[in-house]
Chains A and B, each alone.
Chain A
Amino acid sequence: MIKVEHLVKTFGTTHAVDDISFEVNEGENMVLLGTSGCGKTTTLKMLNRLIEPDSGTIAIDGKNILDQPAENLRRGIGYVLQNNGLFPHYTVAENIAIVPNLLKWDKAKTQKRVEELLEKLHLDKNYLNVYPNELSGGQQQRIGLARALVADPLVLLMDEPFGALDNVTRSKIHGEFLALDELKRKTIIMVTHDVQEAFELADRIALMDKGKIVQIGSPADLLFNPVNDFVRDFLKEQHLQLEFKTIKLSDVWEYLPDAGKKINTSLVPASSGVWEALENFKFYPRENINVLNQENKEVKSITFDQLMAAFSKFKNHQSHE
């Protein structure tokens, strides 16, 4: 869907982006991860020509992005900014309708679409006529997302989209983000410096340093097969937590006992990470939880200790492989 080849951008003597190439598949969620100054934001902004590259090519859907006027290109790409960038002099409805108005949609169509998005993002209709400064940070960020999604673009670029939010709001929005059906069809490139966020939201991660991509791969690849010490060190601090998030219940399925009594409580799907299952124990430390394996419709009821034991068996087995 997106193909980047030999992209170079220099600011003065600094090599902000130094000959990088990568591809993003349709519907994939690619996260550009790295510390500030690694070139991830510059890379992102070259995709919608907010920054023009010195050399290299970018093709979206097989077409070189230089082949059409920048304005037309941008109207077809959603863009979400860290500080939301909502127009303070536009109401919520006007803010969301910016791109439809640029594309000269008729009023009824725009209004219908705006209301639809608002509902999907769990925002009350009454917010339509208020100004952004009357909303909370989380609400503003949702409006920013709605604005990017309104014209149903194939590609969505997100620059630290949740960076300005507090932790509680952020994890809540992460959940909504993963659940939003509109986003499932989109090819997304997201920039973040937050390792947790990258692991939670990414299909693949491109870890960048000094203008180059150090490693590109799935979260598990980065975690379990780091190409060098830089990658290993980058993930070291939160390694255990990342493992909990990366390893799914289905991965440890074979190590889980099948002895527990099946109480009639809610089921945790086996596609969830170990982390999610652990979070369920937070509320019921002494009790069992029920895990459903969608493939064979099997249900296992497990305790906290059993899950931890299965996790370490899986890890042991992996390192001996």
Chain B
Amino acid sequence: MNEHQQTLWEFMQQQADKLGVQTMQHIGLTFISLFIAVLIGLPLGIYITRKKQLSGIVLGVAGILQTIPSIALLGFMIPVLGIGAKPAIVALLLYALLPIIRNTYTGITGVDATVKEAAVAMGMSKWQVLFKVELPLAMPVILAGIRTATVINVGVATLASYIAAGGLGEFIFGGISLNNTNMILAGAIPAAILAILFDFLLSRLQKLNFKKIKGAVKVAPVLLLLLSGLYFIPSAYGSRLTAGFTPEFMGRQDGNLGLISKYGLKIHTIVINDAVMYKAAQEKELDVISGYSTDGRLKAYDLVVLDDDKKIFPPYYAAPIVREDALRKFPELEKTLNLLAGTITDSVMTELNYRTDYLHQTPERVAKDFLVSKKLYKPERGGNEGIVRIGSKIFGEQYILASMYTMLIKGYTNYNVATKTGLGGTKIVFDAMTNDQIDFYPEYTGTGLLAILQAWPKTVTRLQVSKDSTYNYVQQEFAKRYQIKWLKPIGFNNAYALMMRQKQANELHIKTISDLKRFLDSK
């Protein structure tokens, strides 16, 4: 992090190949879906001008499709269409439908009734009326609809990277995950330029007079097809298994880069969003995914973690971290929090996460059941010797831990508790802590090392060997720099992990990442 600060321009030059491919994919995705949307929307729009009683239903359904959040729509697609280009194109075309249908309908119904009557009275057939009168006169309105759809598609196509369909979203979401501004801009700026460019070109087309529009309308489908062709569907060749990694994992030394350099793993890889990755693995769209070792979905989807036998993933042991002044203020606190130390293993945490994430039990209930089973639970004392402020990050595991600590403090001490859970990411919760807004929260050693201390790569490599060395390092550094104390680890390690479907892993006899590499290398 003390390296020379890379400029955006340097980043774009360095990643020019990738940027080119992503831009082409982006244009391709936009126009394939637009093309299909026109093929469906235009006839449908014309049809409902003939059957007006259907117009309400058709426009209503298209309107509802438009309101489905993009990521949800993409999620719905996976069981049906899998991941990759198909669901992305379908989702995009669904978004593009409404403006096309609606404008076709409005455009055609808006054609002067006298002109239509004249056309019929001259002896034109209904197809001649449609093609020679209604469509040409409605064309500016229809084009406006296509223009809206294009701009929507350029925007929504960024989300295609969630389900491994590529596009500029790979940079944008990768950049957000990695907190790399250059990467975000390298995706966002071209996407914005594309939107403005297509909008401008279509606005010019819209303003052409009738004479020229005749020619333009003939060229348009050809152009659409050409632009659609820019999308080479990410190929599934070259490897027997397919891996799906999050954008964040792709860009990290303790992620895909490490897999390549330390293990020499060569696997066909696609970039995918964390929210749909597990599902895709279950649906056999993906064989290997990157995840977190205590994620409840491991259990929900019957996945198994591959052993990281070369130790590329740094340990992420969880432990409460506490302000030193809070420990002085509440003498009983350290002893109480340490009641939990060493009690929760990886598989126990996975189980607890599974119960909140998939069985939808409240974190409080899960926390209480656990404490009762460990005979740690005591009823509240209702004490009033000061208030301990607990923080947590915004995911299930942290809520469960915060609930456990709340119950322990209330049961074992005379302190009361204020919880400030759901504090965004690491930066937000840690800032709250250093600014004396909370007294403690559960943190992970790896996060402390990489995100908060931002240790040098060399230091990281040195410490990665054992969990204790990392723990000791962060403990010393936090005390020195922030006057914050790491208490004893809770027991589980929520680190990055590669996982596969249990059944497939058994069949292929893959237990470790090295096994996976051997399997891939064997012919």
Contact = CB atoms under 8 A, between A and B. Distances in A.
B123 A102 contact: yes
A86 B118 contact: yes
Interface in B113-132: 114-115, 117-125, 128
Nearest to B115: A85
A147 interface: yes
B136 interface: yes
B118 A87 contact: yes
Interface stretch (A14-22, A57-65, A72-80, A218-226): A72-80
Interface string A268-305: 00000000000000000000000000000000000000
Contact of B123 (A74, A82, A88): A74
B141 to A, nearest CB: 13
Contacts of A86: 115, 118
Contact of B133 (A72, A76, A83, A87): A87
Nearest to B214: A89
Contacts of A48: 121
Nearest to A75: B123
A207 interface: no
Contacts of B137: 87-89
B121 to A, nearest CB: 4
Contacts of B115: 85-88
A102 B128 contact: yes
Interface string A219-242: 000000000000000000000000
B210 interface: yes
Contacts of B128: 102
Interface in B271-323: none
Most chain A beta carbons < 10 A, residue from B118, B123, B125: B123
Interface in B43-86: none
A76 B210 CA distance: 29
B210 A147 contact: no
B114 A81 contact: yes
Contacts of B122: 74-75, 79, 98-99, 102, 147
A263 interface: no
Interface string A139-162: 000000001000000000100000
Nearest to B121: A79
B210 A131 contact: yes
A89 B136 contact: yes
Contacts of B118: 79, 81, 84-87
Given A85-B114, A88-B137, A50 B121 contact: yes
Interface in B242-280: none
A102 B124 contact: yes
Contact of B125 (A71, A82, A90, A131): A71
Contacts of B123: 71-76, 99, 102
A79 B128 CA distance: 18
Given A71-B125, A89-B136, A102-B128, A50 B120 contact: yes
Interface string B97-120: 000000000000000101101111
Contacts of A82: 114
B117 A50 contact: yes
A85 B133 contact: no
A318 to B, nearest CB: 43
B136 to A, nearest CB: 5
Interface in B11-31: none
A99 B114 CA distance: 17
Contacts of A74: 120-123
Contacts of B125: 71
A83 B114 contact: yes
Most chain A beta carbons < 10 A, residue from B114, B121, B136, B210: B121
Contacts of B114: 81-85
B77 to A, nearest CB: 41
B124 A89 contact: no
B210 A89 contact: yes
B119 A87 contact: yes
A74 B118 CA distance: 11
B228 to A, nearest CB: 29
A84 B133 CA distance: 15
B120 to A, nearest CB: 6
A27 to B, nearest CB: 22
B493 to A, nearest CB: 71
Nearest to A85: B118
Interface string A104-134: 0000000000000000000000000001000
A220 B266 CA distance: 102
Nearest to B118: A85
Nearest to B116: A85
Contacts of A85: 112, 114-115, 117-119, 121
Contacts of B119: 85, 87
23 contacts: A50-B117, A71-B123, A71-B124, A71-B125, A74-B121, A76-B123, A79-B122, A81-B118, A81-B121, A84-B118, A85-B114, A85-B119, A86-B115, A86-B118, A87-B118, A87-B119, A88-B112, A88-B115, A98-B122, A98-B124, A99-B122, A102-B124, A157-B121
Interface of A: 48, 50, 71-76, 79, 81-90, 98-99, 102, 131, 147, 157
6 closest residue pairs by CB, A with B: A85-B118, A75-B123, A74-B123, A89-B210, A79-B121, A85-B114
Given A75-B123, A81-B118, A88-B210, 5 more contacts: A71-B123, A85-B112, A85-B121, A87-B133, A102-B123
